[in-house]
A and B are shown apart, each in its own frame.
Chain A
Amino acid sequence: MKSIESNSLKNYTKRLMKYSQYLLMGSLWVTFLSCETSVDASDLLEKEQFVVINGYLSPQDTTLKVQISKSKSRAESTVTNNVDLVINNATVTITDENDNQVTLTYSNTSFSYEVPAADLAILPGRKYFLAVTAEGKEYKSSCVIPAELVENIESEITNNNDVDSFGNKKLKLKIDDIADKRNFYIVGAKVTQTFSSGEDSVTDVDFEFEQFTTDSNRENSIVAVDGIFNEFFDSQSSKANVQVANAEEILYDALRATFLNDYNEDDPFFEPVIAPTNIEGENGFGVFAGYQLTEQEITF
């Protein structure tokens, strides 16, 4: 089957789907004089605070990082600076199956606990254990690094004729599925365009929902995803750095939850996705997980 103008089609479909919501909202607003009031949320919202721990390991890492922060209520206006949420006095260790252990130290630049990857070998198929002491409580978790990574990615750049989408170029990726396993892929690409002045412009390719893709129903075949970007008319040379991560399911689900919740933030009828957690310990939340990253550079 010849590929149709998928992005324009997606846009039209979404537009039409949105119509139903606009129509609903419109009818309610216009006909029934809706009103909006601020609610004193102090009694309605839960007050307990969570220790949020996120750490992702990959054999391709140069630095192992774990970020630890505390949560705040969204109705709380006293904490205004994000840095205030960081917990910087925790103790963080990662141990492998052979009891090799590294202690991560806090970095003021990344707001994370770090250790050079050379200090602990992150190996495909191996299990790693995280132990954190923060706010006087202990938290632990573990992850398994996916055994394989994506070996082959085919890229193609074409014109995007859909006037409604934000971008005149389309990046089509064809990923060879890792055989005989259920895989969870996270896709991204950065396009660097160089101008005659010597300046560079770096933009991210927008894969929208296709940034997260599984091999569901296409086991051992090609996983195809499309993204949109804008090529400037005066760019002299362009290159794209394509990234495909084969992630543990929990990592895929957690990042996808963030993506979907952000994407639908303005839709009052969207059911927010509850991100998974594998952090054990009182009021612990977050994900400690493994992935493997494949990168490929293309010029066009």
Chain B
Amino acid sequence: MRTKQVILAFWVLLVNVNVLFSQSNTTDSLSEKHTISGYIKESGSQEYLPMVSIYIPTSKVGTTTNDYGFFSLTIPEGTHELIISFVGYGTVKKTIELVDDIKLNIDMELSTESLDEVIIDADRGVNESQVTQMSVVTIKPSEIQDIPAILGEKDVIKALQLMPGIQRGNEGSAGFFVRGGTPDQNLIILDEAPVYNSNHLFGIFSVFNGDAIKSIETFKGGFPARFGGRLSSVLKIDTKNGNKERLTGKVNVGLISSSLLLEGPIKKGKTSFIFSGRRTYADLLSKPFQSSDFKAGFYFMDLNFKIHHVFNEKNKLYWSNYFGQDRFTGDEKSNGERFKTRLFWGNITSTLRWNHQFSDKFFSNTSLIFSNYNFGLKYDEKLNDNRFLFKLNSGINDYGIKADFDYYPNPQHSIRFGVASTYHNFVPKQSRLRATDEDNTDVKQEIKSIESAVYAEDNWKISNTLSFNPGVRVTHFNFKSKSYLNFEPRATIAWNIKPDLALKASYAKMNQYIHLLSNSGIGLPTDLWVSSTDKLKPQVSQQYAIGLAKDFFEEGYSITLEGYYKKMDDVISYKEGASFLLLEDLETGREIDWEENITTGEGWAYGAELLLRKKTGKLTGWLGYTLSWSERQFDELNQGRKFFSRYDRRHDLSLVGIYKPNDKITLSGSWVFSTGNNFNLPDREALSNTSNFPIPIGLFNTGGTTSFSTERNNFRGESYHRFDLGVQFHKKFAKNRERTWAFSVYNIYGRKNPFFYYFDDTQLKKVSILQFIPSINYTYKF
């Protein structure tokens, strides 16, 4: 099997390189060619713009800017008209006389979508039917600001959950499930750094506060070779670089949190910074009302800080930092006793990136990456002269280096290749115990591993109607003396049946070397990240997808229809009854092997997704529908029988509309409907199995009856639906100042969606949360 993959991968590369050079030689001989290269920036802020289309209608060739706003287009000499376009920005038309290689930096003006008629350009080159890539969802930060959100907390992941193929977990949860995968199978990268826990407050909010975000891309399949390490999705979030011209900012005051964004030049045109912070304040507000004997509080916060420096046109530096934390505090005092409890968890990421442009066709980015996730608890008890202090931590530290190269030899090929290596240091458990008259006890478990990869991919425009994106990623993982080497071939092909209609197909193989142990199903911070080891193999997936993409240029609509089949191997799960609590023998500090508590199996996910989207005009939005199945099979679970995964949902529908009749008002609404979740519900009762055993089982088992179920996820909950509505009133002042009042209601018709079920005597009870949650927000931009 592996030999076949290697042969396939090399064949793809060989054919690709061969064709590349033969083609460039042939065309080179026909006419002199020159390269137009440069950067596209936003006028005013000087923010680099990714995914901007640069297109020459007469010769029907074009390219798009990379993540850092760079483009390169090599075309025959002569007079050319360039059309530079990007949704939300005024299209720029430029005629150039090409007699030599030229540099072309262009500033694009932000257009007010609601008022200005956006030019619908069929040749734009970035429409759904015109890109090779499939199974990708892009969402603009401005759309996230417009979509109604729970308690007014604008949330990237909540917005993405409204897209087909990306499902929410339980009610209110910011965890997401892509094409039948699990949340740990999503690679979330913030400015190149992986983010391990994307949740605040047990998943009710995500850690991504939209203010500092520049672009959001989510890949559900057809993964480009530059991404790897997770089975199910890649969510790539890039933050803004900061305004290089003037100091600007935004203050937002909401019901549960407030945030501040500040950006501006440190040295005009050269160095900029951006800072954004958000903090909840329920703990501060409730403090005066709490008794002096017992004080409890909870808050979460996010801080983003980034500095961008332009040394010169060819060398740029980016230093991005994120710090986020949830913290629970509890303090009790009574009669000489004092108890202090702390629970905290959070991420820290830091990335230092250096852009270097070797030539007008060759661009590179080198990143040094640090990512940390830590969960901790602390219990401190003082009773007279006795002290008891217990600290428990688990977490992960990643130190990575990555170099990515973009090479644009001619308009037919955009080649990317690179190398990456990450040192993972997992700490499944670190505990510290100090007690009066007892020996100190310190326990630390560590797992150290190195994950590396090399990749190459080419976006190859074979003809005006056919494009092909082959790629290969070779990954290596090392744990102690055990090494895994895997080849991951990737390929996407797109055939334009008509200029606005494309048929696409893709294949991607992925390996995942790190795993999340979780049995809560709700993303508790106690979920534990662990590494592949000599006993625990990496998870593997192979995904096949086929789809149609159609654009209606005149009307501004696009429609995509995709079918996928994903097979997953060596996926992990806790064994029956295992949990974080049972992973350790606390008395002796001896490690009970966590590998003993998990089991591996197979997974199947398949389905179809439809997305009808309108990106321009006064009314924008989308209709998304997913029909899907997600199954698992583990030899040691459910008697070895296949079962539906918890969030296996047959139907999932979302309808999102944003209406901007003028620049003073934004109306938005979203309606979602989905099949209910699966629950493990012991729904039967029989005489207890403990009654004839000579040893009494538990203290509370009376030996009467035992409730049980015979199938995992045996109970399908009621279907889920809700309607959210939002309205924003904007008022503009001089000097680009603007204030916005935003009102929204989550679940406006108060649908009692199931959060969980339980039996109370002979009655099945449903607990519902989040019904009719109104909110108000005030935002001031300056």
Interface residues of A (CB under 8 A from B): 1-6, 8-10, 12-17, 19-21, 23-24, 27-29, 31-39, 41, 44-46, 50, 52, 54-56, 58, 65-67, 69-77, 82, 85-86, 110-112, 186-188, 190, 204, 206, 209, 211, 216-218, 224, 226, 243, 245, 253-263, 268-269, 271-277, 285-287, 293
How many Å lie between the Cα of A218 and that of B756 in the bound state? Answer: 39
Q: A4-B435, A20-B524, A269-B520 are in contact. Are A36 and B765 (CB under 8 A)?
A: yes
Complex contact B762–A13 (CB within 8 A): no
B554 contacts chain A at the CB level, 8 A cutoff = no
- For chain B, residues 692 to 710, give those with C-beta under 8 angstroms from any C-beta of chain A: 692-701, 704-710
B66 contacts chain A at the CB level, 8 A cutoff = no
Complex contact A34–B764 (CB within 8 A): no
Contacts of B755 in A (CB 8 A): 28, 34
Contacts of A46 in B (CB 8 A): 683, 714
How many Å lie between the Cα of A226 and that of B587 in the bound state? Answer: 9
Contacts of B685 in A (CB 8 A): 71-74, 85
Please list 17 pairs of residues, one from A and one from B, whose beta carbons are closer than 8 Å in the complex, sorted by A's number: A3-B587, A16-B379, A20-B202, A24-B202, A28-B769, A36-B768, A39-B766, A50-B684, A50-B710, A54-B687, A69-B687, A71-B686, A74-B685, A204-B696, A259-B701, A261-B707, A269-B522
How many Å lie between the Cα of A258 and that of B638 in the bound state? Answer: 16
Beta-carbon contacts of B741-782 to A below 8 Å, as 1s and 0s? 000000000001001111100111111111101000000000
Complex contact A50–B441 (CB within 8 A): no
How many Å lie between the Cα of A77 and that of B759 in the bound state? Answer: 12
Complex contact B526–A4 (CB within 8 A): no
Measured between C-beta atoms, what is the minimum distance from A20 to chain B in Å?
6
Complex contact A259–B697 (CB within 8 A): yes
How many Å lie between the Cα of A92 and that of B595 in the bound state? Answer: 41
B390 contacts chain A at the CB level, 8 A cutoff = yes
Which chain A residue has the least Cβ–Cβ distance from B695? A188
B433 contacts chain A at the CB level, 8 A cutoff = yes
Q: A23-B343, A75-B764, A293-B694 are in contact. Are A272 and B435 (CB under 8 A)?
A: no
Which chain A residue has the least Cβ–Cβ distance from B766? A39
Q: Residue B526 contacts which of A17, A31, A218 (CB distance < 8 angstroms)?
A: A17
Complex contact A111–B701 (CB within 8 A): no
How many Å lie between the Cα of A77 and that of B502 in the bound state? Answer: 59
Which chain B residue has the least Cβ–Cβ distance from A251? B693
Complex contact B752–A277 (CB within 8 A): no
Complex contact B577–A257 (CB within 8 A): yes
> How many inter-chain contacts with C-beta < 8 Å in the A-B complex?
281
Q: A44-B716, A72-B684 are in contact. Are A258 and B593 (CB under 8 A)?
A: no
Complex contact A277–B710 (CB within 8 A): yes
Which chain A residue has the least Cβ–Cβ distance from B770? A32
Q: Residue B593 contacts which of A217, A245, A254 (CB distance < 8 angstroms)?
A: A217
Contacts of A66 in B (CB 8 A): 692
How many Å lie between the Cα of A2 and that of B440 in the bound state? Answer: 9
B44 contacts chain A at the CB level, 8 A cutoff = no
Complex contact A272–B439 (CB within 8 A): no
Complex contact A272–B694 (CB within 8 A): no
Contacts of A260 in B (CB 8 A): 577
Measured between C-beta atoms, what is the minimum distance from A180 to chain B in Å?
18
Contacts of B767 in A (CB 8 A): 34-36, 268
How many Å lie between the Cα of A276 and that of B699 in the bound state? Answer: 22
Contacts of A15 in B (CB 8 A): 379
Which chain B residue has the least Cβ–Cβ distance from A8? B388
Complex contact B577–A256 (CB within 8 A): yes
Measured between C-beta atoms, what is the minimum distance from B337 to chain A in Å?
10
Complex contact A75–B763 (CB within 8 A): yes
Measured between C-beta atoms, what is the minimum distance from A189 to chain B in Å?
9
Complex contact A255–B690 (CB within 8 A): yes
Contacts of A71 in B (CB 8 A): 684-686, 708
Contacts of B689 in A (CB 8 A): 52, 54, 254-255, 258, 275, 286-287
Q: A20-B525, A75-B763 are in contact. Are A6 and B639 (CB under 8 A)?
A: no
B691 contacts chain A at the CB level, 8 A cutoff = yes
Contacts of B773 in A (CB 8 A): 32
Measured between C-beta atoms, what is the minimum distance from A53 to chain B in Å?
10
Beta-carbon contacts of B337-375 to A below 8 Å, as 1s and 0s? 000010100000000000000000000000000000000
Complex contact A255–B587 (CB within 8 A): no
- For chain B, residues 572 to 601, give those with C-beta under 8 angstroms from any C-beta of chain A: 576-577, 580-582, 586-593, 596
Complex contact A1–B709 (CB within 8 A): no
User: Which interface residue of B686, B692, B767 has the most chain A CB atoms within 10 A?
Assistant: B686
How many Å lie between the Cα of A165 and that of B256 in the bound state? Answer: 38
Complex contact B705–A82 (CB within 8 A): yes
Contacts of B712 in A (CB 8 A): 274
Contacts of B756 in A (CB 8 A): 268-269
Q: A6-B587, A35-B768 are in contact. Are A82 and B704 (CB under 8 A)?
A: yes
Contacts of A67 in B (CB 8 A): 687, 691-692
Complex contact A16–B343 (CB within 8 A): yes
Contacts of B269 in A (CB 8 A): none
Measured between C-beta atoms, what is the minimum distance from A161 to chain B in Å?
10
How many Å lie between the Cα of A275 and that of B708 in the bound state? Answer: 7
How many Å lie between the Cα of A72 and that of B687 in the bound state? Answer: 10
B534 contacts chain A at the CB level, 8 A cutoff = no
How many Å lie between the Cα of A23 and that of B381 in the bound state? Answer: 20
Which chain B residue has the least Cβ–Cβ distance from A58? B694
Q: Given A17-B581, A77-B762, A209-B581, list of 8 further CB < 8 A pairs?
A: A17-B377, A35-B769, A71-B686, A85-B685, A188-B695, A209-B582, A271-B521, A272-B709
Which chain A residue has the least Cβ–Cβ distance from B689? A54
10 shortest A-B CB distances, which residue pairs?
Answer: A188-B695, A6-B587, A41-B764, A52-B686, A69-B687, A77-B762, A273-B577, A71-B686, A34-B769, A71-B684
How many Å lie between the Cα of A182 and that of B158 in the bound state? Answer: 47
Contacts of A256 in B (CB 8 A): 577
Complex contact A74–B759 (CB within 8 A): yes
Complex contact A263–B682 (CB within 8 A): no
Complex contact A259–B581 (CB within 8 A): no
Q: A3-B588, A17-B581, A188-B695 are in contact. Are A274 and B711 (CB under 8 A)?
A: yes
How many Å lie between the Cα of A222 and that of B773 in the bound state? Answer: 57
Complex contact A38–B763 (CB within 8 A): yes
Q: A4-B435, A204-B696 are in contact. Are A37 and B390 (CB under 8 A)?
A: no
Contacts of A12 in B (CB 8 A): 379, 381, 388, 390
Contacts of A75 in B (CB 8 A): 683, 759, 762-764
Which chain A residue has the least Cβ–Cβ distance from B717? A44
Measured between C-beta atoms, what is the minimum distance from B627 to chain A in Å?
22
Q: Residue B681 contacts which of A35, A186, A272 (CB distance < 8 angstroms)?
A: A272
Complex contact B586–A35 (CB within 8 A): no
Complex contact B687–A82 (CB within 8 A): yes
Q: Residue B343 contacts which of A20, A224, A226 (CB distance < 8 angstroms)?
A: A20
Complex contact A23–B328 (CB within 8 A): yes
How many Å lie between the Cα of A58 and that of B694 in the bound state? Answer: 10
Contacts of A54 in B (CB 8 A): 687, 689, 692
How many Å lie between the Cα of A228 and that of B707 in the bound state? Answer: 27
Contacts of A32 in B (CB 8 A): 172, 769-771, 773
Q: Residue B576 contacts which of A3, A257, A277 (CB distance < 8 angstroms)?
A: A257
Contacts of B699 in A (CB 8 A): 204, 206
Complex contact A13–B390 (CB within 8 A): yes
Q: A24-B202, A258-B701 are in contact. Are A69 and B686 (CB under 8 A)?
A: yes
Contacts of A45 in B (CB 8 A): 683, 715, 764
Complex contact A258–B690 (CB within 8 A): yes
Q: Residue A9 contacts which of B343, B433, B580, B705 (CB distance < 8 angstroms)?
A: B433
Measured between C-beta atoms, what is the minimum distance from A81 to chain B in Å?
11
How many Å lie between the Cα of A229 and that of B686 in the bound state? Answer: 30
Contacts of B390 in A (CB 8 A): 9, 12-13
Q: A3-B587, A271-B521 are in contact. Are A70 and B765 (CB under 8 A)?
A: no
Complex contact B764–A217 (CB within 8 A): no
Measured between C-beta atoms, what is the minimum distance from B206 to chain A in Å?
16
Complex contact B576–A274 (CB within 8 A): yes
Contacts of A211 in B (CB 8 A): 695, 697-698
Contacts of B673 in A (CB 8 A): none
Measured between C-beta atoms, what is the minimum distance from B237 to chain A in Å?
26
